[in-house]
Structure 1
């Protein structure tokens, strides 16, 4: 026998005698003889733990763990490091090693859990750089984890990396918007609005989200306050206008679009929405006027179908209106819808008393306007020709005799050069118009001074609409400024004075002044206060609860007594992507190391694989029994028995384990029933016969002959002091 084996035998004898100090010396000699004997090192470490020599135990465990890790036995290395972690949770480097090993084994969820503990430790000890580095690693390890990104963005923002925090936050928003998860988006705003108090985009985003979740009144309130400091924001106004339309508040929607068009008259989206508002308000002449002025612009951006819808609506509301009919005729010509065109022309002849020639001229003129070169400078030519033709269209044209005066007049009339010259004399913009035409002289004969010519009269109606817009949004100062500006030019306007009094009266009632950005933040916080529950945090690892406390519920720097919490960082979300077999094997390794809680957690993950459900429940039950938690052990065994397609051997094993559990739980009758089930199927299963005999004696049941009779009849046994009715 070698010296190594002698030392091992001696150590085992000393362990049986509980002479641990001597056993330690024996195993130390074994390690000296064979440093590669990993099992002996592990036994030595366990003996050091029994004798409270933690430092020495760590040294041996470290050697064992490194050996397993370097040789690819990651699960065994993880089990060793977990044992070390239990001995001394303050050894922070163990979390890093466990995270690395779990990642190598493909257990991403476990790796994230270890890194999460690290973040909690770093935050607790103000190690900001290390916390950020660890969070970045977590984000890279699980790119789909919004929880990690939330935490990282928050840490960035609180530690002078505002741009990075905002970028992370926007990326999270993009993901959640893609999923249309507006409840989570609102919770995000609750966290991040205080971190970015000057960011107007976040305020607009919050307002839009409130509207999208159906809380339009809160969204409008926030948008109105934003307009106080950003009256010309071209992003706020369309949101506000659309919201008013959704609420069927067409007056405010119309005022909003008018204000938007004042900022950019070429905004055809706003122009289209304005037409919709006019139609909803049944102000059909206004709708038609807008369309007639801008129909060519709509055509240029290929909105012919939308134009057709508008004009068909107007046709039903304004039957016989020639502008509507003529434009519709051209639209149908472009779309090739001959049926509708024919129906409409028939209706036109019926309703209107228009000669065929005149109708054709009008049709041709409109068709040229819509189908020709839009924006050309010859548009006025058609209308001048129409004016020249006048009512003579359709009348009999006189036939001139050769050499007569009439012939000369007609010849002069059809000469191209003469025709052009004649038309030029009728253009109102011609500098010689007054000298060439007495009618033009009369139309321009007004006593206007130079100031009036250079500064055209103010459009009071448009300005009053702008003031009304500001008034409806609660922007009283802006509304007042518009009215005062009008009164500077028109001091006697009673309409403007009345509007100014209304503005000042409503402002005095509400007592509102200009909002600062801080007050805007308060408003946003108030809007989020009701109806959105706090985010609860569930920690599945009791051992890491203290380390994670600062992670899960870190208070903001500028607030006190807050109950705000970040999203629950649930690493179990990653479990579905992890290897179930690895979890199962890791659970076995933990159980062998005596890490029963960790083993139960791993079996709980592995049981998601249906093929391993029964085995995992059985092992969970055994771990619970080892811990003395008989109630949970019973639940696990019964859950296994309820599984589908149980083999007979599995049923017998589970009933036997239940018998042992009840026996240790001081429930002898239940234990007797469980063991009897096993014995009825297989009398020689393990030591079930001996256990039955011991239980019968303990319960004071009948003697062997009576017992045999009872067994033959299939009757259950009862204690002598119990009354049986059988």
Structure 2
């Protein structure tokens, strides 16, 4: 017998021993496997599970650590992440595990998850008053988005406030390099002057260009002697609220930017440059913000695209063109899924237009966004608002099927006590769109209070850094979330798998397969009614689009009915499959077996 065959035989015996709860025998068999293949992370995980069941947590942790390293060496990062979760559940050091998980997320391209985890780690350091731990973690966050100058500037401000001048200079030097790569020579020179000022060197201020002098809203950099205070760096000049721009002035600013691109400043590579005269003629209304945003988006300059989409969306919102505003805020939210403002504006639009479905969808997006940002309490409030509008809404039930099942149980109890008409009145009475709109308008208007210059504290600086970080997280990789969900499920981390599938199902390509795995996750938890609801809703919603893709959902639903003893319903689901694909799995055998059971259970005629 060869080595591979021997390992396979031992694994079968070990699994049988685990099934019979013969833990010592299973452990011995797993150890034999590892003696033949010392780098097998699957066996390491299984022997850890045996030790855990036995109550020997020290050995369980030891083998899980071995499995973690083995998966990392193999670059199986989703599996390594699942092992790290297991270690966390067994009580290993939370800070250490969070740092490992953040690194693993980044290796999978899940930058949003990596940043959220690092931010959670920084919060824990903050609670322990470990400012060095906070700053070290923030440096790691910055390295996840190395070309984001605005984030580095915020971190530099924090370093200055803590009198860590060398670290601040390091960040400013990186910003200067980024600006020069982008052709932003004036900004780079200003940063260079700041570095010199922090070093205590004599600085000769760069002369102001006559064409730039007196532009509305622009501020000069004023460098004072280095001291532990916050000085907010601006990449773009703010518009003064006291004198709102008229349409003509806005058009001129777009014209200047486009002409600047044509003449070689900040030229967008790969995009045909129009004639100057045509630009002057074209820049005439607010839709030019959208055109410019689309231009930036086409060359992956997402920050600039979002800036101009936001200008246009805000204009349409303020002028009551909610359809256009909604379209643009939705686009912004897709480009920046961790940014709260566009989602809040979508909620406002839905409430202003009395669109129940869109309000619920936006509240669900807000719930997911807040959860990813670590704001659990606020996330729960967003979900409660969606439930308040309509707890039975299909969109809500799709993302939170367990809540739908709970509502069904509640309704069954209510129907025994309350008349149907009274129940309807009660639900309608709970919906108050005006009240919800007022809450959302108040929420979106709350901003971090600007401190008096010279009195900025570390809490303010950290909050500024946090907001800048989440503003810069771009579109999520739904495929990676799906893969991670599979790894969690494979390792028995069902709740974690369910969370990943809920995120992945927001991706167009991952939607159906994530829904299927979501149902299987609830089946693994023994929550058959929830799984049943997921499969039924998918079939109702998707069958007309592509019946073939629904075959697996019919199969799972039939299987659930069979387990519940609903033989007729199960046979019906399996026959739906045979009509489209007679060779699908073991569906013919299932129909035959269930039909026999149904005949046996049928009452005999006397």
TM band (smaller chain): 0.3 to 0.5
> Structure 2 length normalisation: TM-score?
0.46
| Structure with bigger gyration radius | 1
Structure showing greater relative contact order (alpha-carbon pairs closer than 8 Å, 6 or more residues apart): 1
> Structure 1 length normalisation: TM-score?
0.39
